[in-house]
Amino acid sequence: DSGVTQTPKHLITATGQRVTLRCSPRSGDLSVYWYQQSLDQGLQFLIQYYNGEERAKGNILERFSAQQFPDLHSELNLSSLELGDSALYFCASSVERGGQETQYFGPGTRLLVL
């Protein structure tokens, strides 16, 4: 157990819908990362937040958005869903010690768009 929690574990929805995925980082971790893992691709970095502010952006579609709240939990919003958005979405939180950062991954949310 990494200490990072994600809800829900599974989500089934239809094309065109909007969903929200939630992530609670480990206690004390200020950074939250979101990743997408599709069947035919590796881990794709989507976006990073640090202490409530967006820090880095990866391959995140315009239909997707995220935010980090004052209590440091984060939400990933996916809208106008398409079949190709079906994937496993991971969040990870991190702490930097001595200039080295280690990410701790949550269990993931498996999204199926029908």
Partner 1 sequence: ILNVEQSPQSLHVQEGDSTNFTCSFPSSNFYALHWYRWETAKSPEALFVMTLNGDEKKKGRISATLNTKEGYSYLYIKGSQPEDSATYLCAFIAGNNRKLIWGLGTSLAVNP
Residues near partner 1, by CB under 8 A: 2, 4, 33, 41-45, 48, 55-56, 58, 90, 92, 99-108
Comparing CB distances to partner 1, the nearer of 17 and 51 is: 51
CA distance 109 to 34: 11
Q: What is the dihedral of CA 113, 22, 65, 58, to 10 degrees?
A: -90
CA distance 38 to 30: 27
Comparing CB distances to partner 1, the nearer of 82 and 96 is: 96
β-sheet bridge partners, residue 48: 33, 56
Comparing CB distances to partner 1, the nearer of 5 and 79 is: 5
Q: How far is the CB of 89 from partner 1 (least distance, A)?
A: 11
Q: How far is the CB of 73 from partner 1 (least distance, A)?
A: 17
